[in-house]
Amino acid sequence: MRDVLPVVIDRLSRGPVAIARIIGTSGPTPRGVGAAMAVTADGEVIGSVSGGCVESALVHTCMTVLDDACAVVEHFGIADPDGIEVGLTCGGSLEVFVERIDSGHRRALDDLAGHLAADRRVAWATTLSDSPEWYITTSTREPWRRLGRDVADLLTSGRSGIIGVDDCDEPAESGGDRPRTFVQTFAPNARLILVGANDFVRATSSIGRSLGYRVTVVDARPVFATRARFPDADEVIVDWPHRYLESEIRSGAVDATTSICVMTHDPKFDVPTLRLALTDSAAGFVGALGSRRTVADRNERLVESGVTAAHLSRLRSPVGLHLGGHTPAEVAVSIAAQLIADRHAASAAPLHTTSGPLHL
């Protein structure tokens, strides 16, 4: 939804838009809860919820919802290879909520987009009714119906899910004011801090941005650390990397969702920065570029600077998976692949050598 939102806001100037969001999954599915697709009245399709398996059916549903303004919940299960029903070939199932939005929703969507742009944790609650109600909040204390505490729990944990009950015709004391509601939470993007200002960093900043990271490039040399050289980075910082990292650690801006890759090949940058990253930060991933000889020499320097064996075991160096590439773009792909595998605790083995579901 994060990627679809700006386009949806823009298209509202032309007329109503139907939004389809995954609100529940079971088994392996191509995309997870919160993935969204939008359809305009003239048939433009924005985004995807399944990579092609059910989009054609959802386009038809979206056009119907645009016509009658009545929101619906669609269910898609396993596709029957001998049947004509639309379904998923991956063996899972999806529950998708489709609703119509128009200019009356613009203020709420602008509010949501503003929170996302400011990297605030925000929850978007939508009642799963014919005429949905919205509730957008960054607070864990605001009451809303009798669902406020449930919304707050999801917001605090960063999870998305369904709360409330199906039957809202019951009296309030029986749950009638707790309608079945989808709460989609958005947390700040994971950070990728790249130390250095070279071609490898430029390629890695581009692929990191495409993977949804908030990318920071930091280097002490102003002639190299420029916005023109790193157009895909969210930030380009001219400072000694260890000094910048120290300030970020002190401010609490480095946490388990932060990945740090040191790529300067210069001990006066590498060693103090890695020492901080390994011993004083909560970063979830710390990697460093370099040949086997460079890695061995750098590890000795790190130990001499006070880094313990336990701390050194956190370091992924040489960083990246063994793909056989040499160019900056190929190295960036290998680093990105390791970041993805590390985040999902995956083996990084070729899929044809493994068994079991591809999507959990």
Give the DSSP H or E segment for 153: helix 148-157
Report angle CA 89, 91, 97 to the nearest 5 degrees: 85
pLDDT at 212 over 90: no
Band the pLDDT of 166: cuts 50, 70, 90.
low
Dihedral sign, Cα of residue 317, residue 322, residue 325, residue 330: negative
Band the pLDDT of 343: cuts 50, 70, 90.
confident
For the domain made up of 191-344, the CATH class stated in words is: alpha beta
pLDDT at 173 over 50: no
pLDDT at 82 over 50: no
Q: Taking residues 93-122, what's their average pLDDT?
A: 94
Tell which residue, 236, 230, 200, 206, has the closest CA to residue 218.
236
Residue indicated by tokens 């029986």: 174
pLDDT at 22 over 50: yes
Residue indicated by tokens 């290879």: 81
Instruction: Identify the pLDDT of residue 172.
Output: 43
Q: How far apart are CA 123 and CA 139, in angstroms?
A: 9
pLDDT at 74 over 90: yes
Q: Which residue has the higher pLDDT, 79 or 139?
A: 139
Instruction: Identify the pLDDT of residue 176.
Output: 55
> Looking at the chain, how many residues does it have?
360
Neighbours of 339 (CB within 10 A): 26
pTM for this entry: 0.69
Domain ranges of the chain: 1-103, 121-168+176-187, 191-344
What is the identity of the amino acid at 348? Answer: A
Residue indicated by tokens 């940058």: 269
Q: How far apart are CA 162 and CA 318, in angstroms?
A: 43
What is the identity of the amino acid at 115? Answer: H
Instruction: Extract the tokens encoding 325.
Output: 């590439």
The residues near 272 (Cβ < 8 Å, ≥ 6 apart) are 241, 242, 305
Residue pLDDT, tens place only, 26-61: 877 778 899 999 999 999 999 998 766 788 889 999
Band the pLDDT of 80: cuts 50, 70, 90.
very low
Tell which residue, 163, 1, 15, 182, has the closest CA to residue 97.
182
Half-sphere exposure of 338 (CA within 13 A, CB side): 25
pLDDT at 87 over 60: no
